[in-house]
Structure 1
Amino acid sequence: MIRKFCEERGPSPLLKQVQAIWLDYKYENWRLYCFADEASAQAFLDRFPGEMFDPKRDRED
């Protein structure tokens, strides 16, 4: 369903696999779909569960 959704909307998003490590040392694997614009990302969230991620705001350097 995700692949079909992305194909219908135009250029496919960049897909990244990341591992989140929390302060309590809990690990989580996440799949990030990186869209060129916020409107495409919001359309994705309207259709599929998830959370908005802004790399400039939501990660440590």
Structure 2
Amino acid sequence: MALSPDLLEILACPQCKQPVSLSDDGAWLVCDQCRLRYPVQDDIPIMLPEEAQPLEA
């Protein structure tokens, strides 16, 4: 089961409040503004700032 498009539409980066997008492999929510990614585990987005990882160049 993947993340619902309706859920993705309302999710925002907890740091900058900009929209996030799902990575191609579905494992991350990506904030292009902050250049951070948040893990998705068992179809549950972990939107905690301390769980964020920098985007790889």
Greater relative CO, 1 or 2 (CA 8 Å, sep 6+): 2
Q: Kindly indicate which of the two structures has a greater share of residues assigned to helix.
A: 1
Same fold (TM over 0.5): no
Q: Please give the TM-score of this superposition, normalised by the length of structure 2.
A: 0.31
Q: Please give the TM-score of this superposition, normalised by the length of structure 1.
A: 0.30
